[in-house]
């Protein structure tokens, strides 16, 4: 442990303290083969959390970062999907809801290839994994090659992306769709309000919300919305998690999810080239996805990308941080990049207290500075936007976002998210992806002097 906590040479005292603090969070949240997001509200392994965690963990232990991803993909389903939760069998069912006995993955998901020996959820989360795998490999290529990390993970990553672009191309336009508000990771976003309003909630007597044991009701989704989440999950489970049979009442194309899929395909191209496989196929797929993203989800008037509701085919007129994450995409037309940056600097997404980006338009009809994904600023989306700004050479702007992430992470005890109007930490503390992405930005700054990657 001491070696992992030791700071590298040529860091300031403040950076050393921040690095030690972030390392302690990840070491404290390590559960043997993977990392829990927090020791309170989230006692299992979450899919996109593990990807972000691996990105930071590689700076402490590349081998442990590899294990983080390997443990997640060990629970991959036969149809290619990577479940959004892999349950720790030593944790009691009552510690988290929905628990394994709700999802019933090993029985209800049998036809879809759910693992028989490991309980998981039946839905997915955004595909950050190929990017995380490539960055993890680059942290220590010799150790990666020695362990056969990329040869083992590459076919699983390909199967994962294939699932998203076949079974989940529900709109027929070449993009992947989400079928539950928990899938895009931004669970309680106002972007889902209209689609959720079509869903009758589950009987509240049939379940107990464990999240309220650890979070204030004013910060969490309402009981009405939570009942709708539960009903959608029940419908999917009862359809055997079969995307053809489910008749999804909630189906949307989300710009963040698809931007991450594009980034993932570009990472798969790098992995394929490293392994002597066909990299051109992944680059071509990334180009097609980029064209579809712009054609289907870009809205010039809104100044960012919007989600598309596949029930009626319309764009959802709600501006969220998901619409800014496509800055990650290198093939965007320059006028689109300029417009995104202008939106980022405009009154909707420029908060006075922190340069972290609010999860929802500050001037929007549903803005709530403390309620989950309806306004609070998150560290993972800020990290994605920082990386996207650098992708397009906007380094001065990216430097400001990087500085805000580092300052706010340290000041809030590595909070889950923050109030964008005050910078106050909210949600869980000692949150794993906040610590992990802090480590990544510290390492980037040390390697290049200004954080350029």
Concerning whether 187 is annotated as a catalytic residue, the answer is yes
Concerning whether 17 is annotated as a catalytic residue, the answer is no
**CA separation for the pair 396, 136 (Å, rounded):** 26
| Catalytic residue of the set 70, 79, 187, 243 | 187
In this structure, the strands spanning 417-418 and 425-426 are: antiparallel
**CA separation for the pair 365, 350 (Å, rounded):** 17
| Catalytic residue of the set 49, 70, 416, 419 | 416
For the annotated catalytic residues, the residue numbers are 187, 416
């Amino acid at each position: 442990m001491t070696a992992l906590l030791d700071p590298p040479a040529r860091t300031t005292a403040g950076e050393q303290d921040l690095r030690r603090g972030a390392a302690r969070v990840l070491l404290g949240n390590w559960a043997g083969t993977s990392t829990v997001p927090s020791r309170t509200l989230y006692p299992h392994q979450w899919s996109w959390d593990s990807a972000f965690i691996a990105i930071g963990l590689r700076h402490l232990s590349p081998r442990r970062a590899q294990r983080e991803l390997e443990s997640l993909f060990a629970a991959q389903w036969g149809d290619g999907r990577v479940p959004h939760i892999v349950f720790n069998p030593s944790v009691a069912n009552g510690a988290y809801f929905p628990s394994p006995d709700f999802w019933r993955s090993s029985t209800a998901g049998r036809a879809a290839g759910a693992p028989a020996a490991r309980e998981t959820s039946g839905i997915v989360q955004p595909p950050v994994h190929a990017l995380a795998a490539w960055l993890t490999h680059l942290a220590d290529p010799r150790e990666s090659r020695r362990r056969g990390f990329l040869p083992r993970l590459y076919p699983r990553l390909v199967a994962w992306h294939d699932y998203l672009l076949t079974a989940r191309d529900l709109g027929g336009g070449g993009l992947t769709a989400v079928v539950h508000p928990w899938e895009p990771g931004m669970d309680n976003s106002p972007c889902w309000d209209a689609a959720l309003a079509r869903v009758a909630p589950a009987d509240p007597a049939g379940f107990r919300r464990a999240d309220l044991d650890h979070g204030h009701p004013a910060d969490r989704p309402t009981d009405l919305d939570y009942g709708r989440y539960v009903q959608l999950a029940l419908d999917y489970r009862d359809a055997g998690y079969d995307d053809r049979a489910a008749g999804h009442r909630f189906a949307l194309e989300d710009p963040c999810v698809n931007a991450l899929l594009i980034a993932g395909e570009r990472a798969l191209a790098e992995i394929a080239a490293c392994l002597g496989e066909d990299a051109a196929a992944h680059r071509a797929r990334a180009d097609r996805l980029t064209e579809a993203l712009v054609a289907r989800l870009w809205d010039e008037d809104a100044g960012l990308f919007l989600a598309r509701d596949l029930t009626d085919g319309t764009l959802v007129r709600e501006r969220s941080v998901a619409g800014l994450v496509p800055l990650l995409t290198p093939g965007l037309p320059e006028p689109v990049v300029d417009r995104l940056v202008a939106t980022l600097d405009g009154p909707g997404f420029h908060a006075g207290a922190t340069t972290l980006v609010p999860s929802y338009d500050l001037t929007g009809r549903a803005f709530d500075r403390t309620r989950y994904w309806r306004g609070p600023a998150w560290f993972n989306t800020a990290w994605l936007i920082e990386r996207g700004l650098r992708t397009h050479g906007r380094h001065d702007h990216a430097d400001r976002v990087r500085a805000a992430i580092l300052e706010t992470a340290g000041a809030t005890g590595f909070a889950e998210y923050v109030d964008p109007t005050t910078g106050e930490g909210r949600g869980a503390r000692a949150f794993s992806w906040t610590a992990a992405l802090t480590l990544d930005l510290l390492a980037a700054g040390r390697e290049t002097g200004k954080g350029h990657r």
